[in-house]
Chains A and B, each alone.
Chain A
Amino acid sequence: MSTLPSQPGIRRRRRADPSFWLLAGLASLILAFLYLPVVVLIVFSFNDNIVTTLPLKGFTWHWYQAMLANEDMLAAIGNSLYVATVATALTLVIGVPAAFAIDRADFPGKTAFRRLVMLPLTLPGIITGISMLNMFRMLGFNLSLETVIMGHGTALIAIVVTQVYARLQRFDRRLEEASGDLGGKPWQTFLMVTLPNIRSAVIGSGLLAFTLSFDEIPVTFFLTGRDNTLPMYIYSTLRRGITPEINAIGTIIVVVSLGLIFLSISLLRDPQRRPASAKPG
């Protein structure tokens, strides 16, 4: 509390702070810049005109109806859901044990393993996609949605590993020892003590992986066969020209991903205030 005497001084200085309004203005401009495209996307999905020009014409649901009637697009959405779901399951099945291995196990080549797992997080997606394409071709694999899933799984493991590893680092391991001392078998300890404590990190990183997989282009581009995912469909449509249908599906994607984002962020937030023991399985 030795800072108390200086407190009024700080307040006075802040109130008369001319840089506050300057920075506030700048920050609002940058935020407006960040949201301008999102607003444009949503507004023009309801605009009764085939070109995205101002002034706006009338309100219409037409582009949403056109979208629902577009079978190629619906098939692409289905493909994307399939890819993202299986790829997410895959990242969890591989990523959670990998996080455990990095946190606890000691084995030769551990540093190399950690670097390798993290690599797709820093390398451009095109590198991951192309290197896997090389291998699939060498092995004589046909490209399909399944090869896309393997690509997404590989590229997104790092997301799960970083989040789960961070949570494991803060996890009090004495809880596991206590469980062992009370006669719990290792698998019981894992299911009833360890897993509940990292559960939100697992689910949160899973949701994040799902969102990213649903949006992925570079890896998909090289690993997909005849079937398109939704971003690939949009990407190839865009090169032919723009239709407001894309704005409609875009608006839906924005709304759905906002929901998923808030869900995953609230799960990834560290439940520090609650004592760990207050969360039995």
Chain B
Amino acid sequence: MKLAARRRLANLGVLAPPLLWTMLFMFVPYAIMFAYSFYRKQFPIFIPDIQFGNYLLLLTDPQYYTVLLRTLKIALLVALASLFLAYPLAYFLVFKIRSARVRAGLYMAVIVPLWVSYLLRAYTWKTILGSQGVLNSFLVWTGLLSEPTDLLLYNQFSVVLTLTYIFIPFVVMPIYTALEKIPRNLVEASHDCGVGPVQTFLSVTLPLSVPGILAGVTFAFCLTFGDFVAPTLVGGPNATMIASVIQSQFGTALNWPLGAALSIVVLIIVLAIISLSDRFERAGRLNLG
């Protein structure tokens, strides 16, 4: 009895700090934000007034829903672009490199940029794409352009390019893991049955790597969806994304309730995408036995 009591006390000692911390710094802030989203702005303060005005505004004012749709579009483009670049890379590493050591080295080379400062990698694209930048001066130098163009920077293209670049490692990682798990003898069996390499890829390798694809695409999509740093650095007025709008609601626009409602919308979309991809993945796993 005494021992059990003491063990329970020890358990409580271990449990209490993380529990208290998560309550105070995660649960309470999310709850406050949720409450704020129903407040109303009344200069210079916000008053509690339970109504759905903020949400209604988001859905009816084109100023907001166009940005939301654009963010969805950019996130989708980034997810697809990074998938098309990441898949061949992961496939090459897993199936074409025979030396385990070379494979591990190349894998490291792919994921290392992930940790070399997000900000610096976003910023460098500004110096590459700018009208006084590396690419422009290179094109003029080689004579491909007669004068620098400013078409490369401050648009949706530069945002998609920069974010794709930043998130590729996030997509390579899960696809690599999924491809590595595929039993080689399944591929060999398909070859032995006389099935060509393309058909084998389409009917064996690709379906078995779907969990990795889903995880990677979800990562890239969700990370893009909430990003405001890259759009600020390399995006123009036509590339404003939802997180930048949220940021301005908490800054210059000083409309916290609206900003909170936008944050809740982002939160719901991200969580919905994650659970959707979870469900797809589970369904896929059942199909493949």
Contacts and interface: CB of A to CB of B under 8 A. Distances in A.
Contacts of A184: none
Q: How many B residues are at the interface, by size bracket?
A: 35 or more
B85 A13 contact: no
A280 interface: no
Interface in A36-86: 36-38, 40-41, 44, 51-55
A116 interface: yes
A101 interface: yes
B247 interface: yes
Interface string B259-282: 110010011001100100000000
A27 interface: yes
B15 A101 contact: yes
Contacts of A218: 226, 228-229, 243
A26 B18 contact: no
B56 interface: no
B188 A211 contact: no
B226 A126 contact: yes
B4 interface: no
Contacts, number: 230
A100 interface: yes
B123 A246 contact: yes
Interface string A9-30: 0100110010110011011001
Nearest to A246: B123
Interface of A is mostly: helix
Interface residues of A, number: 85
Interface stretch (B58-66, B125-133, B202-210): B125-133
A257 B141 contact: no
A217 B26 contact: no
A133 interface: yes
A6 B192 contact: yes
Contacts of B256: 134
B25 A31 contact: no
Contact of B96 (A10, A13, A20, A116): A20
B115 interface: yes
Contacts of B137: 53-55
Interface string A231-274: 10011001100100011001001100110110001000000000
A2 B69 CA distance: 56
Contacts of B15: 97, 101, 105, 107
A123 B18 contact: no
B119 A124 contact: no
Given A34-B110, A154-B21, A101 B132 contact: no
Interface of B: 10-11, 14-15, 17-19, 21-22, 25-30, 32-33, 36, 85-86, 88-89, 91-93, 96, 98, 106, 108-110, 112-113, 115-121, 123-128, 130, 132-134, 136-138, 141, 165, 168-169, 185, 188, 191-192, 197, 222-223, 225-229, 232-233, 243, 246-247, 250, 256, 259-260, 263, 266-267, 270-271, 274
Give the top 10 A-B pairs by smallest Cβ distance, nearest first.
A124-B226, A131-B29, A53-B137, A98-B18, A37-B124, A23-B92, A27-B92, A52-B127, A131-B33, A135-B29
Interface of A: 3, 6, 10, 13-14, 17, 19-20, 23-24, 26-27, 30-31, 33-38, 40-41, 44, 51-55, 93-95, 97-98, 100-101, 105, 107, 113, 116-117, 119-120, 122-128, 130-135, 138, 150, 153-154, 157, 186, 208, 211-212, 215, 217-218, 221-222, 231, 234-235, 238-239, 242, 246-247, 250, 253-254, 257-258, 260-261, 265
